[in-house]
Amino acid sequence: MTPLLSSWGKSWQRSLPASAGVGIDMDPAGQQVIGNDTAGVIARPPLLFLGALLLGFALDHVLTLPFRVPRIGTAHWISAIIAGSLIPIGIAIFAAGIRNFSGAMTPVQGTKPTRALVTTGIHAWSRNPIYLGMFLVYGGIGLAVRSPWILILILPLAITIRYGVIAREEGYLDRRFGDTYREYKASVRRWL
C-alpha cells in the first residue's frame, strides 16, 4: 500500500465514532478482522487457578476433611512420580501455547483484542492448550501435597473456566473471525 493510501486508511479509521467500537485490523495472515473488543471473561484465568489453589490450601487447614488423598500403592514414590510428571507436562503444554501466541504476534491476555487466530502447533490438536496445561499443573500440585480440597475444587474451577472464560472467548472469536474460526472449531477439540 502506498504511503498516501495508508494514511487515508488510518484517517478513515480515526473518523469512526468511538461509540461504534469498530476498527479494521489485519491479522498476520492478511485476513481482515473487525472490532477492537475483547472476550470479556469473568477474570483472568491464571488468577482463577491461583485463587482456587490458595482456597484449597486454606480449606485444608480450616475445614480438615477426615481423609487425605491416598498414596497410590504402598510406595509414596509412585504418587510422587505421577504428580511430578503432571507438573512439567503441564508447564510444557502451557509454554507451547504461549509460544504459539507470541509467534503469531497476538496477545495472550484476554484483556486485549486478538490480532490473529492461532491454529498451528499445539493449537492444531487442542483449542485450549494453555488452560489444559494449567489444569495439569494444578492437579499435579494437588496430588503432590495430597490435598483433598485442592482436588475437590478442580470441579468448580473447571466449570468456571468452561463457562466464564472459554464460552466467552469462543463467542468473541466467532464474532471476530467468523467462518475461519467456525471451521477451526469444527476440526479441533476443545481440550484433547
**Secondary structure in 3-state letters for the chain:** CCHHHHHHHHHHHHCCCHHHCCCEEECCCCCEEECCCCCCCCCCHHHHHHHHHHHHHHHHHHCCCCCCCCCCCCCHHHHHHHHHHHHHHHHHHHHHHHHHHHHCCCCCCCCCCCCCCCCCHHHHCCCCHHHHHHHHHHHHHHHHCCCHHHHHCHHHHHHHHHHHHHHHHHHHHHHHHCHHHHHHHHHCCCCC
Whether the model clears a pTM of 0.85, i.e. scores above it, the answer is no
Residue 182 scores a pLDDT above 80: yes
Residue 127 scores a pLDDT above 90: yes
Average pLDDT of the residues in 150-176? 95
Q: What is the mean pLDDT of the chain?
A: 81
Give percent above pLDDT 70 in the chain.
76
Question: Mean pLDDT highest for which of 21-30, 57-66, 73-82, 176-185?
Answer: 176-185
pLDDT band at 145 (very low <50, low <70, confident <90, very high): confident
